[in-house]
């Protein structure tokens, strides 16, 4: 076994590899860019090496820097994770030429599966079923159009390189073929530097089902059953599960045998995934699945396979790469229960799943799994970390396991509803809606399900009066930047000094909301809301919420409602400009007085410091003038108390 390995990746997969390596007694080296200097994977690793600026082309895609870092630290092998250089055969050549071990397949195996058209021709020779279509080298438009007619419309034009749905067009009619081909070629050229395409039969109700395979250097290849990855948006996976719902023994046998045959055809060693497209229009049948492509690396969704087979695929990778045989034979690998993985992203589902950025001011996952289930959180971030525009906006993978699909699905819904994230727009509400969708719940899923139901899945009900009242309560204490999560105890404390009645203002979307928070003698809070709510709400229990700079987020199930809280100190200028007094924007203690009665002051001059909720706030003059009255140092004041009164003579 290796003594030390370098992980040529970042984020959750780097953390994932580090955990297994540590359990096995293998030391780890992290690499990081400028943006990741304080990242979790850097903190977790035994050593870390800086490899360049934030853009991936100057850091995580620089194979020369990664190899140099490996040699400099004395590591023996490189784990590529997924993405970045994980399927780059030239990088594998660099690694092996330096006398190091690449924890993955050979460069020859990667090249064999690197281009879709060549891979499909290879699979045809190996006897693996491929989608009916044209996978040849000739690219003349007349030939491609004629092949499309032979295949029969609708057809799918696909870039032969890359993935992620780029360079892909569905064509319903021959008259639309030319324009669709041009668009696919332009997109493929821009994304992959290769505008060549293949043309295939479009499957009406496609299921994306893949098989996890694993090989060693002794010629052994096993499968670890299948995963269903049909729940996709923009050709990107959202929720994966294992095993596939509705899977029949006949299809599983045919599909897993084909997957093993595919891996053996290229002398595969390491973790790999054979992806199939399945025609589910008439149920799952053994003669209605076809090879799409092979991912010659560990998949993002590998945890669901680990959950249902009781394996650690990263441990298998390390053992096989170090020269050991596969840890288990095929007969020793059994399925148990059902697992789901939900990918939690910083993205705006309502705006077409646009990636989002921001600081994760509040990040809280469930402490325990729902009863009867198990759960794991795969993440590479912590509270306070930023979602960078340089990398994939994944926050975490929430993985659950139950005794059957229904139990696992219920655990998924509960776990999503207990997840709290504030500081960036996230997709937890969308994931929960998808998990609760009637078709998805029934296992009637295909790659078009999210697109058909997108409006309903991404719609979020406006906040109720109770949610708004909870936000107002949280914001009404000592300003929007106070870090507390418990406004109940903090607000109640002020009742010793003054009657509870506080004004606050919130903003939700385009709505400005005014509220008056009061505390009743029995300890309950009442929040009176102005338009558009026009209601009074009694709050009897502490809500789930998070406060972060000038915001409050209230959690209701898997939805996080974020309210902007206008900075009361900033509003002091607005309220007092041109007026004869400055009022306290919040309850607090006059900690320090810096001016005196009768003193002439100028606009912007600090006059006193107000302490509230363990934070100090400077109150400054909003205009030139002479002080007629000023608060006494040490005075306890309430919201709206006059702190400074100016003489009536000219100001402005």
Size of the chain, expressed as the number of residues it contains: 652
- DSSP at 524: -
For residue 353, give the nearest of 365, 344, 362, 361 by alpha carbon: 344
Query: What is the bridge-based pairing of β-strands 354-355 and 347-348?
Result: antiparallel
Beta sheet of 236-242, edge-to-edge order: 289-295, 270-279, 206-215, 221-233, 236-242, 338-345, 394-402, 374-379
Catalytic amino acids? 297
For residue 538, give the nearest of 515, 561, 518 by alpha carbon: 518
Q: Which residues pair with 286 in a beta bridge?
A: none
Query: 138-153 as b/e, with b when 16 or more CB fall inside 10 Å?
Result: eeeeeebbebbeebee
Cα-Cα-Cα-Cα dihedral of 341, 344, 348, 351, to 10°? Answer: -10
CB 116 within 8 A of CB 158: yes
> For residues 358 and 469, what is the distance between their CA atoms, to the nearest angstrom?
26
Q: Name residue, tokens 């780890």.
A: 28
Work out the number of other CB atoms within 10 angstroms of the CB of residue 520. Answer: 10
Q: What are the Cα distances from residue 416, in Å, to 225, 379, 402, 436, 571?
A: 26, 15, 15, 11, 37
Work out the number of other CB atoms within 10 angstroms of the CB of residue 58. Answer: 14
């Amino acid at each position: 076994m290796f003594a030390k390995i370098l992980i040529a990746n970042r984020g959750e997969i780097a953390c994932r590899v580090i955990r297994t390596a540590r359990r096995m007694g293998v030391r780890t080296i992290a690499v990081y860019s400028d943006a990741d200097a304080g990242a979790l994977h850097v903190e977790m690793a035994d050593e870390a090496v800086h490899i360049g600026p934030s853009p991936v082309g100057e850091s995580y895609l620089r194979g020369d820097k990664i190899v140099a870092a490996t040699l400099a630290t004395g590591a023996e092998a490189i784990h590529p994770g997924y993405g970045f250089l994980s399927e780059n055969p030239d990088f594998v050549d660099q690694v092996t030429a330096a006398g190091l071990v690449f924890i993955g397949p050979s460069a020859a195996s990667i090249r064999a599966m690197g281009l879709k058209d060549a891979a499909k021709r290879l699979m045809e020779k190996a006897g693996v079923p491929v989608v009916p279509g044209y996978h040849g080298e000739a690219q003349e438009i007349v030939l491609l159009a004629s092949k499309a007619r032979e295949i029969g419309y609708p057809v799918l034009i696909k870039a032969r390189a890359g993935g992620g749905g780029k360079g892909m067009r569905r064509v319903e009619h021959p008259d639309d073929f030319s324009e669709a081909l041009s668009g696919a070629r332009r997109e493929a050229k821009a994304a992959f530097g290769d505008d060549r395409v293949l043309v295939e039969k479009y499957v009406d109700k496609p299921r994306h089902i893949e098989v996890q395979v694993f090989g060693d250097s002794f010629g052994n290849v096993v499968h670890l059953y299948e995963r269903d990855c049909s729940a996709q948006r923009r050709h990107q996976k959202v929720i994966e599960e294992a095993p596939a719902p509705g899977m029949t023994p006949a299809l599983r046998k045919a599909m897993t045998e084909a997957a093993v045959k595919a891996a053996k055809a290229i002398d595969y060693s390491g973790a790999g995934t054979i992806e199939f497209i399945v025609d589910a229009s008439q149920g799952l049948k053994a003669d209605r699945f076809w090879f799409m492509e092979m991912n010659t690396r560990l998949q993002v969704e590998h945890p669901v396979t680990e959950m249902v087979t009781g394996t650690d695929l990263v441990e298998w990778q390390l053992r096989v790469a170090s020269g050991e045989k596969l840890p288990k034979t095929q007969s020793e690998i059994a399925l148990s229960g059902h697992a789901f993985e939900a990918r939690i992203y910083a993205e705006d589902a309502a705006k077409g799943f646009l990636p989002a950025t921001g600081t994760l001011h509040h990040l809280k996952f469930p402490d325990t799994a729902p009863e009867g289930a198990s759960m794991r959180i795969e993440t590479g971030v912590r509270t306070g970390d930023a979602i960078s525009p340089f990398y994939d906006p994944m926050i975490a993978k929430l993985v659950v396991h139950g005794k059957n699909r229904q139990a696992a699905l219920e655990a998924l819904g509960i776990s999503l509803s207990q997840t709290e994230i504030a500081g960036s727009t996230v997709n937890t509400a969308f994931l929960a809606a998808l998990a609760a969708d009637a078709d998805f719940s029934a296992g009637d899923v295909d790659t078009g399900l999210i697109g058909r139901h997108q409006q309903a899945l991404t719609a979020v009900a406006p906040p109720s009066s109770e949610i708004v009242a909870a936000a107002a309560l949280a914001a009404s204490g000592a300003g929007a930047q106070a870090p507390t999560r418990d406004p109940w105890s903090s607000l109640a404390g002020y009742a010793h000094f003054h009657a509870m009645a506080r004004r606050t203002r919130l903003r939700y979307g385009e709505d400005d909301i005014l509220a008056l928070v009061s505390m009743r003698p029995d300890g309950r809070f009442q929040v009176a809301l102005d338009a558009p709510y026009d209601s009074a709400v009694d709050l009897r229990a502490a809500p789930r919420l998070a406060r972060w700079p000038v915001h409050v987020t209230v959690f209701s199930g898997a939805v996080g409602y974020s309210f902007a809280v206008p900075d009361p100190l900033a509003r002091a200028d607005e309220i007092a400009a041109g007026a004869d007094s400055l009022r306290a924007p919040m309850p607090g203690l006059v900690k320090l007085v810096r001016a005196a009665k009768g003193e002439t002051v100028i606009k912007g001059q600090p006059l006193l410091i107000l302490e509230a909720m363990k934070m100090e706030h400077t109150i400054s003059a909003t205009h030139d003038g002479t002080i007629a009255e000023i608060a006494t140092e040490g005075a306890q004041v309430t919201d709206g108390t006059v702190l400074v009164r100016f003489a009536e003579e000219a100001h402005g």
